[in-house]
Amino acid sequence: AQTVTQSQPEMSVQEAETVTLSCTYDTSESNYYLFWYKQPPSRQMILVIRQEAYKQQNATENRFSVNFQKAAKSFSLKISDSQLGDTAMYFCAFMKLNYGQNFVFGPGTRLSVLP
């Protein structure tokens, strides 16, 4: 079974600074996707960024980028130029490519952006 670990329950960062959230996972699969989701107080689940395991290039979406280390099974999220609206819970998630396309979520990191 796949597991996803986020070792930082809470983090804070000053507005305009850069912060990195950590995620590690355990799997025997070779083809899979990894995701970062953001959950603001509204409780909506919002996709931040995704990474296909077969791609060596790290994904980037505007201020958000990942450091994907497949051998180390590590998938960290870097947020540059942090904004107050980035305050939220962030979940790392794993999806294997087979029957059911099941998702596994990490426990989350609560990020606070301070003015």
Residues that bind other proteins (CB under 8 A): 9, 33, 35, 43-45, 47, 50, 91, 95, 97, 99-108
Tell me the CA distances in angstroms from 29 to 14, 57, 73, one per residue in order.
38, 19, 11
Q: Which is nearer to other proteins, 9 or 85 (CB)?
A: 9
Q: Quote the least distance from Cβ 105 to other proteins, whole Å.
A: 4
Q: Which is nearer to other proteins, 1 or 71 (CB)?
A: 1
57 Cβ contact list (under 8 Å, min separation 6): none
Min. distance of Cβ 10 from other proteins in angstroms? 10
Please return the burial class of 38, using the count of CB atoms within 10 Å of its CB with bins 0-12, 13-18 and 19+.
Answer: buried
Q: Name which of 68 and 91 has its Cβ closer to other proteins.
A: 91
Closest CB 99 distance from other proteins, rounded Å = 6
Quote the DSSP letter at residue 106.
-
